[in-house]
Structure 1
Amino acid sequence: MKIAVTYENGGVFQHFGHSEQFKIYQAEEGTVVSSEVVETDGNGHGALAGFLKGMGVETLICGGIGGGARNALSEAGIELYPGVSGDADQAVEALLKGTLSYNPDTMCSHHHEGEDHDCNHGGGSCHH
């Protein structure tokens, strides 16, 4: 099974559509057997679903994600685990153990303590 995580500095990156890197894990029998960090080469939002599908990814762990990207992933047959934060490697281990804490209703507006950011950074916007 191939699992992708939106990736930045070892953690789960919090905006799928702006992901510049994914960490791709190959898991067999509940154990990670290999992993690699791949660059998205500037692909964004909807194009990322095709990028992941082309790499054979079956499952995605991410932070925030918009409706359009959700639909693209669904059409690509990629199982989605949004609303995850923290260490990327630990998130994958938790998924494999069945203990991953995620929020299926997560959208891409984030309000972190002391930080107020939404999806309009970088000039992009989300479609909810």
Structure 2
Amino acid sequence: MKIAVTYENGQVFQHFGHTEQFKFYEVEAGKVTASSVVSTNGSGHGALAGFLKAAQVDTLICGGIGGGARTALSEAGIRLFGGVSGDADKAVEALLAGSLAFDPNVKCSHHEESGHTCGEHGCGEHHHHGA
């Protein structure tokens, strides 16, 4: 298993599409065996899913994430745990322990979601900026 966390100064970075670093965690038998911090070299939004897939990541922990990036991750077969904040290492430990608090419906609310699919219609009210 290989987990990626959007990463900045030890914390889970809150905007997937703007993340400049991921911390990768190699996991075997439920324990982290290695970790490394990797620069995205300026890859943004859509390219980040490909970047993670190329790195053989199968699980992503992040803060906010937009609909397009969610779709790209899903198509790449990467499991998403969004809406996570705080210490990156602790988030990975919590995930492995089955106790990570995450939000399955997380969104980046700073930009308009076009054609979003969240499965229920109560989530759109706060996302219309009239732009």
**TM-score bracket, shorter-length normalisation:** 0.7 to 0.9
1:81 and 2:81 are equivalent in the alignment: yes
Q: Relative to 1, partners in 2 of residues 1:44 and 1:126: Cα closer, same or farther, differing over 3 Å?
A: farther
Q: Measure the CA separation in 2 of the matches of 1:6 and 1:23.
A: 7
CA shift digits 1:23-79 (9 cap, x unpaired): 000011110000000000000001000000000000000000000000000000000
Q: What is the TM-score normalised by the length of structure 1?
A: 0.87
- Partner of 1:83, secondary structure, is coil
Structure 1 residue ranges, 4+ long, deviating more than 6 angstroms after superposition? none
Q: Measure the CA separation in 2 of the matches of 1:99 and 1:33.
A: 20
1:40 matched residue in structure 2: 40
* Identity rate, percent: 70
1:8 and 2:8 are equivalent in the alignment: yes
Structure with a larger share of its residues in strand: 1
- Partner of 2:24, secondary structure, is strand
Question: 1:102-121, aligned counterparts within 5 Å?
Answer: 102-109=102-109, 118-119=110-111
Q: What is the TM-score normalised by the length of structure 2?
A: 0.85
Q: Measure the CA separation in 1 of the matches of 2:36 and 2:22.
A: 8
Structure 1 position 126, deviation (Å)? 5.6
Unpaired runs of 5+ residues, structure 1, are 110-117, 120-124
- Partner of 1:96, secondary structure, is helix
Unpaired runs of 5+ residues, structure 2, are 117-131
Q: Measure the CA separation in 1 of the matches of 2:86 and 2:42.
A: 24
Q: Measure the CA separation in 2 of the matches of 1:31 and 1:43.
A: 29
Q: Measure the CA separation in 2 of the matches of 1:51 and 1:32.
A: 21
Structure 1 position 5, deviation (Å)? 0.1
- Partner of 2:48, secondary structure, is helix
- Partner of 2:17, secondary structure, is helix
Aligned residue type for 2:67: G
Q: Measure the CA separation in 1 of the matches of 2:24 and 2:44.
A: 17
Question: 1:12-91, aligned counterparts within 5 Å?
Answer: 12-91=12-91
Q: How many residues align?
A: 115
Rg comparison, structure with higher value: 2
